[in-house]
Structure formats: C-alpha cells, structure tokens
C-alpha cells in the first residue's frame, strides 16, 4: 500500500481532489491530505469541505510514495510555500511519481520539474510552463520521467490510471 500526499489549500477543484483520492483508496492506497496547516478546514471551488490531515511543515518526501497536486486555484497559493515546493521537488528527486492536473503543474514550474519535460495542463498555463522550460502539449495525460500531468476533470480517468500504474 502506497501513501500518497495530496497537496491542497482553499479553492481546490473538487473532482480533481475527490476522484484521485477515491481511486487511490479503491486500489488499497492511502491518500494523505497535506496543507499549509494540520486540521485546516478548506472549501473547494464547488463547495466540497476538505480537512487537511497533515501540515506540510510536519512531513517529508520520505513519508510518501507519490504526490498528487489537484487543480483549481489552490496550486497558485501553495506554490508560494517553499515547504510545498520542496516536497514536490524532493519527491521527484527520490524517483517517486509526482502527478499534477489542470492548474497543478504550476508547482512543477515553481519546483523546476517542468524544465526539460513534456507536460500538459489547463491551456492557460501553457506559456508559464514553456517559460519554465517544458514542452507543453494538448493531451489527455502525459507521463515524462515520473511526472504525470493532465488537462482538466474530463481527463481524470486517464490521469488516475497513469498514477496507479506508477504505484505498482
């Protein structure tokens, strides 16, 4: 069973949080909701109530087998947190999967993981990711050296399949 950090703050895209967590649980894995503070009550974009399990300051990449970054407006906030950025960077450096959907790839840009990789995202991030050194493509899911990206909630089945494949 893998422990997977799911990085969130206010205004996470509901389905991009809920669907990967459910798919992880169904496959026998443990999603751990990591936020800026432990026990923080958050409201997702469409009203889902989320409570964080752990504060990013209290965890390390060694605690997890992968990281998931849902989209919405949350990634824009958490990319300004150096501990969040470090968790993403260190997880990838340890050879563990980092999966980001929609606006989640902002953390890939901030952490330096976009550089030299092919990625996808919500279309409005295309220029940001290219400026961060990535090759941006418009595809349902892209996997490049352990970094998994998708564009939007419609891509979640393929996104989750790719993540679960990497956790085997």
Active-site annotation, residues: 102
Which residues have a Cβ under 8 Å from the Cβ of 52 and sit 6 or more positions away? 8, 33, 34, 35, 36, 37, 38, 39, 40, 42
At 39, list the tokens: 């026990």
C-alpha span between 135 and 16 (Å, rounded): 23
Q: Are 151 and 121 in contact (CB under 8 A)?
A: yes
Q: Are 34 and 7 in contact (CB under 8 A)?
A: yes
At 111, list the tokens: 């952490």
């Amino acid at each position: 069973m893998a422990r997977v950090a799911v990085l969130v703050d206010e205004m996470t895209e509901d389905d991009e949080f809920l669907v990967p967590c459910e798919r992880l649980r169904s496959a026998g894995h443990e999603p751990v909701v990591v936020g800026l503070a432990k026990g923080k009550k958050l409201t997702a974009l469409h009203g889902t109530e989320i409570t964080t399990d752990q504060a990013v300051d209290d965890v390390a990449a060694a605690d997890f087998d992968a990281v998931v970054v849902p989209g919405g407006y949350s990634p824009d906030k958490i990319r300004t947190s150096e501990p969040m950025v470090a968790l993403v960077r260190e997880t990838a450096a340890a050879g563990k999967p980092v999966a980001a959907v929609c606006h989640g790839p902002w953390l890939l840009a901030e952490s330096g993981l976009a550089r030299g990789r092919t990625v996808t995202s919500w279309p409005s991030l295309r220029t940001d990711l290219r400026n961060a050194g990535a090759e941006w493509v418009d595809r349902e899911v892209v996997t490049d050296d352990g970094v998994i990206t998708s564009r939007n909630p419609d891509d979640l089945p393929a996104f989750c399949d790719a993540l679960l494949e990497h956790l085997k």
